[in-house]
Amino acid sequence: MGTLDGKVALVTGGGRGIGRALVDKLAAQGARVVVNDLDPGPTDEAVAAIRARGGQAIGCPGSVTDPDFGNRFVGLAMSTWGGIDIIVNNAGYTWDNVIQKMTDEQFDAMYDVHVKAPFRILRAAADPIRQLAKADQAAGREVVRKVVNISSVAGLGGNAGQVNYSSAKAALVGMTKTLSREWGRYRVTVNCVAFGFIKTRLTQPLGSGPAKIDVQGKEIAVGIQPALIEAFETQMIPMGRAGTPEEAANGVYLFCTPESDYISGQVVVVGGGLSF
């Protein structure tokens, strides 16, 4: 028996890094998972791995920034399993520059993936969730559903070179708190996890491997200067090291469990004590 047996979980960015660790965790606890990633390859790999371990998963590849993605994502969960219990808005990336060199395209790209995409997904889920809650009430069932939005310490305290990313992640905190007020009546908790320094392909040391990612045909520079990584791990993070994708996923998982059924509208930093 898992803590999430029979639940239906939707996770964006679930084919790589933290998202991949999260879909594995949710499936291991009995959830049926709708896995999204930008590219079909990582999506299919995550789904196949879950199924190979006896879990249930389906893939929904594609960009979360597509105007119809939210409806397609939610619609797939409803048509396949007839329900929604957990939504995790995890997909995203960084595109850094100081403000005087930042283009409108860079700023808009961060808004689109970190703010507008979660908004569209949650808007698409609103009517199904209301109908599910109404059916639960009529049947005398107490079912608590979960939304977890992924922010960053950059959205809480800012970060030089990331005015676009920091602004978008701060906006996601506002979305979280607002929706917790709107959806409490439907027995939905809405919380936010802000990651600190987690080891992923986006935070690899510059010079240690590929320094760019491909986002729909556009090459985006990623990576962190080794000196900054050393400062994080030796001076800024009390626990003295970066987190792993599995540790980051565990922080999200906490808000997906029944033990968090009366926690809503909160922001929790998963960062080894890192604070601003």
Among the listed residues 63, 60, 64, 61, the one whose alpha carbon sits nearest the alpha carbon of residue 76 = 60
Of 165, 186, 253, 262, the active-site residue reads 165
Cβ count near 232 (within 10 Å): 20
DSSP string across the chain: --TTTT-EEEETTTTSHHHHHHHHHHHHTT-EEEE--SSHHHHHHHHHHHHHTT-EEEE--S-TTSTTHHHHHHHHHHHHHS---EEEE-------B-GGG--HHHHHHHHIIIIIHHHHHHHHHHHHHHHHHHHHHHHT----EEEEEEEEHHHHH--TTBHHHHHHHHHHHHHHHHHHHHHGGGTEEEEEEEE-SB-SGGGPBTTSS--EEEETTEEEE--B-HHHHHHIIIII-TTSSPBPHHHHHHHHHHTTSGGGTT--S-EEEESTT---
Is 186 in the active site? Answer: no
Q: Measured between alpha carbons, how far is 228 from 66 in angstroms, rounded to an integer?
A: 34
Q: Which residues does the annotation mark as catalytic? A: 165
